[in-house]
Structure 1
């Protein structure tokens, strides 16, 4: 083992620890890896920054733009609505149709985008048939990962693995549909698993139907009237100290012969005002006695919901949200959006108190209430995703045929190898912009920049492992460990290593690290490297054990009311089954 090997292994170990602990953002960790490799001389300056000009990275962000165009033009919505109309009202049929739909969509667009598009529709269906959303959302997230294995552009690991194969030389890279046979097998496996086994393991935690019942907020909402002698008379809400002293949140102010008023900080409280407040009953009673308030009957949800201009809906942070980690107070949510947050589904719990101080995270679901026009405005905000089916009229339907033509043209160019995939996808992305399917600002918003910087930062690690012989060293270690059992045992050992790695770090990063090892292991055994690489990219899609394994899992975490180990309970058996399915079918489709 050389000094370079030791340095690379140390850098890799530190990076893995940072990925696992999440003390730093994953894209920042990748940039630190890039800088460290450059400063230690393990890669040249050109190699250190080659990731930003890599055809694989260009392909990845081009796919994000094309996915954004399919979203803006309504193509994805039309497909989703058509498939879901076929589902009817039977739970099992709905479950199967959802999994097939998201699998197909994930084959040709970003799988996180596919889940984001279907999420509002699936929740609406769950409410309509009175089924817990938790019975539908996890299967949708898992099969979106498996559906991404169907084509070259389905997921970044496919693109990255193919790019690394090209860099080695002497290895035939994968074509566009080379992934389809194994991808279809693992997708069907996932669907059958949920039909016969997985659906019985899914939690029934979040009830369908009424949102107030789902978040259990009825007992925390009350109405109080401001008496003539109340000390609040004439004070602004900011000066009332209802929140700081009594942990009570004012959601609405009602006055005689006036429309309900939004509780802005400078709103003055008057005698006779009826305040809709949220808080613990003991706190409300204590505030009423101290401040001269009269407790009224329990607030009626049906009265509020019958008002034509007001709605109660769920929202969650969008995949492009920049406010992760900020509180409602820091974002000035009420003043900015004119809406009130009633509850937050955070880390598996429905929270109804001290909401202003809870840091928002990906996977949180927020129950909000307010005027319909404000909620409609929120639909176009890049920070949030409204969890109800959007009106199809909000999409640019007149651009849908053009978007389909561009997509089909790109697929033909790539599948027939008329153009390299990076060139074809970039042309497709630019054509989407030039034809106004989406504008340039929307194109930039569609790109998952964290993933782009993560991939660009980790690609030099793959180069360093390849140039220094570290990948070959680790590959020989694996061959020495299980090689006596034959090449298939080595393949499955690498599959298992990738599957475990992708649970604690990005599947793109795991692919960059493991593919060079897989190729060198295949060369050491003098067998087909394509078989080994295919095992890696399939294993990279098996992030089922934890919600943090993939953003698709995180996206459904709050809306489904899941807890951390719900994923482990359901996912571990799917991981085991896919392991044996790959063991059987991989050497048949990709002979060693």
Structure 2
């Protein structure tokens, strides 16, 4: 072994020790590796930072932007509702649903793209069902990896097929991986659902544990809204019919605030003042009015109680804001500041000195520390973060900010993923083009894009990239692989296949599946020549082995993508991923023996 190989081996072992100890963040370790390899001259200067321009990093960058656009337009919220219904709201059902849906999606598209599309939807499911995200995000990552093993479209499988073609052999077809891959998906999904999920951590640091439904219910109870909400039906002879809310002047004439309209079965929370009232509409109002006045105006009170849930929808939310110490609103009333017109928000109640105020809100001078319960569009509520007069206490992560862009975001994403799945153009370029198109069509802003990019995953992959280059260029990978092949060269076919799988498993953790496939494909062909075994069967073993990214977060970028959001450590991946790896290897060996004769 050369001096450079020994040096790279030492760096690899030290990095592995640091990762296992957990004393340093993975992204910091990756940056340290990059610096050491660059300053030592082990990796050429042009390759030190090449990871930042790698296809994996560009794909994560683009898919992070696409995911944010899908979340802000409501696509992922709808997908989350569907997954929740399929999972029957139980933890085991949700885990199985997430695993199978992600596996199915990865049959047709890049694994990173599949996780990027599903990640915000799964986070939404976790909040809606009050399930810890840590119980769902690793099944999401593992599901995409399992699904990728059943299709030719996974990168390592494509590399293996290309190596067969270059050797003058028949390449793999689109369905060649299914006979072995489908049992892998089935067994892996059952393991994750009924065994692995019990070993996943229950807490996810830094993530909100309450759902928006719970938050709205808490705010409604805190401000005693149930005692101050009423539903009024507009009768056919009402003088308010066919007039706008602004023309009816509810606030001044009746002391009522319209916080929702139920028309033809459709709920419209926080309707604009331009909304035209129609006979038969049911108005959800805040406040009370004497029966004689209501009768005169052709308004009929409903007998059933009004649920506070009618105050919100996908894009309309409740929020609590506090008057800041130096606010220009101090000493002024909501009416004099034209609060409704300025912010496009309804003030439903004011919290002062330990209790809510409900009467004559427009004429109450505001004080420092007053909390306002406001209702309005999620986009308007988000804008309060930039307002120096108000402090937004909590924001709903599932809120749909740009609901009218839903069809546009859906079709742009579908087109992007369709082109990527067909392999017409490189995946990274297609995904980045889709992200740019979402930005150009204003499905999200550049600021929101920057805030939601998976920077940690990008730095881990980019930092580890020169290490994979060093392992390959220093000769370390060839040395280890050839030594192990020599040890079992005269053994049984099963032992040779197992050795290739274990080699692929080890290299995948260090180099990633793509590089591992490039390194081991020639060895599989050489082994077939020396032993007389089917080259396509041995190449299938290498291809599937390069997808065994379960035991560590560094075997595949999708593991890194969920690591932070799920609050996982290296030990969590080892604990859950190792048994899954063993089960998968056994399934691969049986499948190769049955369908490929090796």
TM-score where L is the length of structure 1 = 0.56
2:447 to 414, 426, 441: 441
Which residue is equivalent to 1:283? Answer: none
**1:473-484 map, 5 Å:** 473-484=479-490
Which residue is equivalent to 2:565? Answer: 555
Distance 1:451 1:85 in 2: 31
Distance 2:103 2:542 in 1: 22
Which residue is equivalent to 2:138? Answer: 141
**1:380-529 map, 5 Å:** 390-391=398-399, 394-486=400-492, 488-493=494-499, 495-496=501-502, 510-511=512-513, 514-526=516-528, 527-528=535-536
Distance 1:180 1:372 in 2: 54
Distance 1:104 1:306 in 2: 52
Change (3 A) 1:451 1:492: farther
Which residue is equivalent to 2:186? Answer: 188
Residue 115 of structure 1: how far off its partner (Å) = 4.1
2:118 to 114, 121, 128: 114
Distance 1:589 1:379 in 2: 59
Distance 1:50 1:485 in 2: 40
Which residue is equivalent to 1:333? Answer: none
Distance 1:538 1:490 in 2: 18
Conserved 8 A contact 2:517-2:542: yes
Conserved 8 A contact 1:111-1:148: no
Residue 484 of structure 1: how far off its partner (Å) = 3.8
Which residue is equivalent to 1:48? Answer: 48
Residue segments in structure 2 that go unaligned for 5+ positions in a row: 212-319, 327-352, 359-368, 386-393, 529-534
CA offsets per residue over residues 48-89 of structure 1, 9 Å max, x none? 333333344333322333333332332222122123234446
Change (3 A) 1:69 1:388: closer
Compare CA radii of gyration and give the structure with the larger one: 2
Distance 1:564 1:35 in 2: 23
Partner secondary structure for residue 147 of structure 2: coil
Partner secondary structure for residue 540 of structure 2: helix
Partner secondary structure for residue 442 of structure 2: coil
Change (3 A) 1:115 1:103: farther
Change (3 A) 1:467 1:426: same
Conserved 8 A contact 2:551-2:573: no
Residue 474 of structure 1: how far off its partner (Å) = 1.2
CA offsets per residue over residues 506-528 of structure 1, 9 Å max, x none? x6854467445433532442445
User: Which of 161-170 and 568-577 deviates more?
Assistant: 161-170
Which residue is equivalent to 2:26? Answer: 26
Partner secondary structure for residue 43 of structure 1: coil
Count how many residue pairs are aligned between Structure 1 and Structure 2.
426
User: Which of 117-126 and 76-85 deviates more?
Assistant: 117-126
Distance 1:150 1:519 in 2: 22
Residue 5 of structure 1: how far off its partner (Å) = 2.0
Change (3 A) 1:543 1:567: closer
Which residue is equivalent to 2:100? Answer: 100
Partner secondary structure for residue 538 of structure 1: coil
2:540 to 505, 527, 531: 531
Change (3 A) 1:62 1:588: farther
Change (3 A) 1:415 1:88: closer
Change (3 A) 1:541 1:432: farther
Conserved 8 A contact 2:43-2:470: yes
Conserved 8 A contact 1:64-1:110: no
Residue 95 of structure 1: how far off its partner (Å) = 4.8
Residue 436 of structure 1: how far off its partner (Å) = 1.8
Conserved 8 A contact 1:4-1:468: yes
Change (3 A) 1:495 1:556: same
CA offsets per residue over residues 312-341 of structure 1, 9 Å max, x none? xxxxxxxxxxxxxxxxxxxxxxxxxx99xx
Distance 1:511 1:188 in 2: 22
Distance 1:582 1:61 in 2: 33
CA offsets per residue over residues 279-299 of structure 1, 9 Å max, x none? xxxxxxxxxxxxxxxxxxxxx
CA offsets per residue over residues 224-261 of structure 1, 9 Å max, x none? xxxxxxxxxxxxxxxxxxxxxxxxxxxxxxxxxxxx99
Aligned Cα RMSD in Å?
Answer: 5.4
Change (3 A) 1:11 1:371: farther
**1:78-477 map, 5 Å:** 78-88=78-88, 93-104=93-104, 109=113, 111=115, 114-126=118-130, 133=131, 138=135, 141-151=138-148, 170=166, 184-194=182-192, 197=195, 390-391=398-399, 394-477=400-483
Distance 1:18 1:569 in 2: 18
Conserved 8 A contact 1:103-1:146: yes
Partner secondary structure for residue 150 of structure 1: helix
Distance 1:306 1:125 in 2: 31
Conserved 8 A contact 1:115-1:144: no
Conserved 8 A contact 1:102-1:143: yes
Conserved 8 A contact 1:124-1:389: no
Distance 2:77 2:543 in 1: 31
CA offsets per residue over residues 147-206 of structure 1, 9 Å max, x none? 245359x9xx95588689989994899999987776654333233235555567789999
CA offsets per residue over residues 327-370 of structure 1, 9 Å max, x none? xxxxxxxxxxx99xxxxxxxxxxxxxxxxxxxxxxxxxxxxx99
Distance 2:31 2:552 in 1: 24
Which residue is equivalent to 1:254? Answer: none
